[in-house]
A = this chain, B = another copy of it.
Amino acid sequence: MARIVVEVMPKPEILDPQGKAVAGALPRLGFTEFAAVRQGKRFELEVEGEANEEVLDQARKAASEVLSNPVIEDVVSVHWARES
């Protein structure tokens, strides 16, 4: 069954306490290569029926209306998942 991936991140100007917590933990655990971390969300939508451009358009609409909060988040990608 075809799947669509939706990626959502906090807007750059929005504080991201989860990302900050991870960024603080990494150097304590020996990972010193990373200056900052942001944490967002990744959704996989399983498509019922035909995988066509209209379904992808509907996923884009769902991404901006349901899967993200446009006040604080950006939809950074909506794409078909590679078959695994």
Residues of A within 8 A of B (CB): 1, 7-9, 19, 22, 25-26, 29, 31-49, 55, 58-59, 61-62, 65-67
Contact = CB atoms under 8 A, between A and B. Distances in A.
A42 B44 contact: no
B35 A46 contact: yes
* Copies of this chain assembled into the complex: 2
A40 B41 contact: yes
B7 A42 contact: yes
Given A9-B44, A43-B22, A44-B9, A66 B31 contact: yes
Contact of A31 (B25, B33, B49, B62): B62
A48 B37 CA distance: 11
A1 to B, nearest CB: 7
